[in-house]
Chain A
Amino acid sequence: MTNRTNSWRAGLQRGGIELRHLLRNGKEMSGHLTNVVVALLVAAYIDDDVPGTRTPMDHLILAGFAAYLLFQIGLISLPQILVTEREEGALLRLRATPGGIPAYLVAKCLLVVVVAVGTLALLLFAGALVVDGPLPHGPGAWLTLAWVTTLGLLAVVPLGAAIGAVLPNPREALALIMLPTMGLLLTSGVVFPITALPVPVQHVAAVFPLKWMAQGLRSALLPDSARTAEAAGSWELPMVALVLTAWAALGFLLAVPLLRRAARRESGSRLSARHRKAAQSGALPA
């Protein structure tokens, strides 16, 4: 029992320190901020309305970017952090430390949630101030924003952790994740109405969480009249909840054993072997 509380305390402390390091790290911060700036620039240059509605197109785009930010933090940033820290030996050090692995997970959750919510808030408030972007109207819409964000993170964070547990190394990791993510960004109706895409593409995109995260956020951020531009002509909120919950369940089912396996497999010799390999691939030009 005391061990468990100590892991929580150590994990929260760890997450706080990592957040501070992130805020101080100009390069990484500018990476997160670039996304926000790009979204705002795109929104500022687009004047059209969403076809068939009187909702400005930039509102749809900002809602889509908001979903993509959450998606990206769970499925790109998190796996990269996990793979990098595994390779550097942080995971092994925590494995050799009493209560270290639970503390590590607590810290990572804290980090991901704060970064995700922080970036989302920044995007929405900066959007509202600078380009007259959308904000939820009324308590019901705020509630929708809250649950879609929460479920969205639950759908992508465990999945990202599972991916981070199996990817070989940070160099290959980025390449392996980027391509499918970009594909989903273009096919999920994030930055333009999904109805502009061929129906088979819409069906494929509907399997993955990004489309539903974007749709859920649109329902929170856009006026109700904008739902005519949706593929189904409505927000399909029950479906949003169902698909995201399914992905969350799948993510947890995969993440728990895969993370356990990744931690169990860490040892000094595996670490050295990876470092040797990294040094070789760095020494030999590709």
Chain B
Amino acid sequence: MTTFGRTDVQPVIQVRDLTMAYGDVDVLRGVDLDIHRGEVFALLGPNGAGKTTTVEILEGFRQRSGGEVSVLATDPERGGDAWRARIGLVLQSWRDHRRWRVAELLRHFATYYPDPRDPGELLALVGLTDQAGKQVDRLSGGQRRRLDVALGIVGRPELLFLDEPTTGFDPQARHEFHVLVELLARDEGVTVLLTTHDLAEAERLAHRIAMLVGGRIRACGTPAELARRAAAQAEVRWTADDGTPRRERSEDPSQLVWELHRHAAGPIAGLEVRRPTLEDTYLHMVHREADGTDGADGTDRDSDEQAPAA
């Protein structure tokens, strides 16, 4: 992770105090982000938290209300074709070019880029070689999404936006997709900004995760850091001598388990230690926002006085 902390290189995405208002409604209230080359960065948050708005501002599809945004050293509002050529996009709602054949579509989109990938190799990479002659219409949901990924990376982008990329994938397809994203980031230095509702996916893929709640980044860090920060207590579960299930939260689960063992002088039935998960962190953040109360960890830049987005 330390390689991403380098300060001598400008981050691929740099956002300072980004704000967005639609009329009277503040959607983004000062977002800061730094995403570095080769990093897989996940943006999490409940619906309506401003995720989509943030990503569309970064993609150059929306004008912001305020703040500084730099994507590949360019303001997205002024990004021309040369800038576009360095960016790849995979959206969940694409169902275009239905009549085209898979290889035909990929070959066509390769012509727009100065240094495209070889369409044949790309089909192999996303596992669509057997479908090359098929009409896009006839692909399964997972195949269609893999084609979208292939179209997203055909121009060798330095930065790839993935919007809910594995919705509707079966576990096998999801696994293959994850391997592909890891490969792109590791071997080719592609920077990936992933938005997802799938916390397991974020944990699996992302080097760092930011949680966007109520128009602000509420937490940002590695999955492990996030989990530690929010719900620092692990949960220990076991079955008591009388057969009733017991659970207890502890800062030091090892100590608790050791004491349990000493007390019982033998094995303990149903013993289970649950480390705080990313999901705990996420729910904690979202609930805190909904309650309008501040967290105990004090990582926020301010205690918010705004009305919660009930």
Find chain B residues with CB under 8 A from A3 CB.
Answer: 81
Q: Which of A1-26 contact B (CB under 8 A)?
A: 3, 6, 9-10, 13-14, 17, 21, 25
Is A266 engaged at the interface, CB distance under 8 Å to the other chain? yes
Query: B56 touching A88 by the CB < 8 A rule?
Result: no
B interface bracket (residues with beta carbon within 8 Å of A):
20 to 34
| Number of residues of chain A lying within 8 A (CB) of chain B | 29
Interface string of A96-121 (1 = CB under 8 A from B): 11111001000000000000000000
Find chain A residues with CB under 8 A from B89 CB.
Answer: 93, 96
Smallest distance from the beta carbon of A45 to chain B beta carbons, Å?
Answer: 36
Query: A17 touching B104 by the CB < 8 A rule?
Result: yes
Query: A6 touching B111 by the CB < 8 A rule?
Result: yes
**CB nearest to B61 among chain A residues:** A267
Query: B81 touching A89 by the CB < 8 A rule?
Result: no
**CB nearest to A100 among chain B residues:** B112
Per a CB cutoff under 8 Å, which of A13, A92, A268 touches B92? A268
Main secondary structure of the interface of B (DSSP, over half): loop
**Given A6-B111, A97-B109, A100-B112, A272 and B93 contact (CB-CB distance below 8 Å):** yes
Smallest distance from the beta carbon of A142 to chain B beta carbons, Å?
Answer: 35
Is A271 engaged at the interface, CB distance under 8 Å to the other chain? yes
Find chain B residues with CB under 8 A from A25 CB.
Answer: 99
Smallest distance from the beta carbon of A72 to chain B beta carbons, Å?
Answer: 21
Query: A268 touching B56 by the CB < 8 A rule?
Result: yes
Complex CA distance for A98 and B114, rounded to whole angstroms: 10
The 7 closest A-B pairs by CB, nearest first: A90-B96, A98-B81, A267-B61, A98-B85, A88-B96, A89-B96, A268-B91
Q: Which residues in B have some Cβ–Cβ distance to A below 8 Å?
A: 52-53, 55-56, 59, 61-62, 81-82, 84-85, 87, 89, 91-100, 104, 108-109, 111-113, 151, 155, 163
Q: What are 26 pairs between A and B in contact, CB < 8 Å?
A: A10-B108, A10-B112, A17-B104, A25-B99, A88-B96, A89-B91, A89-B93, A92-B91, A92-B94, A92-B96, A93-B96, A93-B97, A96-B59, A96-B89, A97-B84, A97-B155, A98-B112, A99-B81, A100-B112, A266-B61, A268-B56, A268-B92, A268-B163, A269-B52, A269-B53, A272-B93
